[in-house]
């Protein structure tokens, strides 16, 4: 058992299982993309571990970049507007695979989809290491899913509880 801030977590998914799931995703993406060169776009902060492992498992040509989804208060009363930061060079005409650590309700995925569609990409696919099917409220297709998990809070392998736990090699579930 581990403690992060005020909460306790119990071991849930081993690093071996995670590595196997990422290897499977890499094989699927290789098969789907054939001679096309994907740009993997990691969504910070959570995805840094997944992207690093995907990079070691993906054995064909590919590129990497990272974005952060940021909210800023719009000047109008339209409320919170999301934007992508970090997209230096454009993705126009590229085959993009957005890489997430976890998809829960899917609200973040919906924002990402809207924002990437404005980039005039050739194709847009989504990959996530963890997926909570019971919590998912969107109809967007997730092309590559590592591991389905129940609707319970997890930490480790990039995922945090109030910023702690990202460096854990295994994944832990809230006790
Ligand atoms: P969404 O509900 O799919 O939009 O997920 C929003 C964000 O909540 C994710 O990108 C994660 O940063 C965070 N999140 C969702 N579930 C978990 C979890 O079990 N552990 C840690 N963070 C989570
Ligand atoms: Mg995240």
**pLDDT tens profile 137-164:** 999 999 999 999 999 999 999 999 999 9
Ligand 1: residue of 7, 48, 104 to mutate (most ligand atoms within 8 A of CB) is: 104
Ligand 1: list residues with CB < 6 Å. Answer: 46, 102-109, 153-155, 159
Q: What's this model's pTM, rounded to 2 decimal places?
A: 0.95
pLDDT value at position 174?
98
Residue 107 pLDDT > 90:
yes
Point out the residues that are catalytic. Answer: 104
**pLDDT tens profile 76-93:** 545 567 888 888 778 999
pLDDT value at position 139?
97
Secondary structure (H, E, C), the chain: CEEECCEEEEEEECHHHHHHHHHHHHHHHHHHHCCCCEEEEEEECCCHHHHHHHHHHCCCCCEEEEEEEEEEECCCCCCEEEEEECCCCCCCCCEEEEEEEEECCCHHHHHHHHHHHCCCCCEEEEEEEEECCCCCCCCCCCCEEEEECCCCCEEECCECECCECCCCCCEEEEC
The residue-averaged pLDDT of 88-109 equals 93
**pLDDT tens profile 20-68:** 999 999 999 999 999 999 999 999 999 999 999 999 999 999 999 999 9
pLDDT value at position 74?
47
The residue-averaged pLDDT of 117-146 equals 97
Ligand with smallest separation from the Cα of 156: 1
pLDDT value at position 73?
52
The residue-averaged pLDDT of 13-20 equals 98
pLDDT value at position 72?
61
């Amino acid at each position: 058992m581990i403690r992060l801030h005020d909460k306790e977590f119990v071991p849930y998914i081993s690093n071996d299982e995670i590595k196997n799931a990422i290897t499977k995703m890499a094989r699927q993406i290789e098969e789907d993309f054939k001679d096309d060169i994907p740009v993997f776009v990691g969504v910070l902060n959570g995805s840094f571990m997944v992207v690093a492992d995907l990079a070691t498992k993906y054995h064909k040509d590919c590129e990497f970049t990272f974005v952060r989804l940021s909210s800023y208060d719009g000047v109008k009363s339209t409320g919170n507007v999301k934007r992508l930061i970090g997209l230096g060079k454009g993705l126009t005409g590229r085959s993009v695979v957005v890489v997430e650590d976890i998809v829960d309700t899917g609200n973040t995925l919906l924002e990402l989809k809207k924002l990437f569609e404005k980039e005039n990409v050739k194709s847009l696919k989504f990959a996530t290491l963890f997926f909570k099917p019971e919590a998912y409220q969107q109809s967007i297709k997730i092309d590559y899913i590592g591991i389905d998990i129940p609707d319970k809070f997890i930490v480790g392998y990039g995922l945090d509880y109030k910023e702690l736990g990202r460096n854990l090699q295994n994944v832990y579930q809230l006790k």
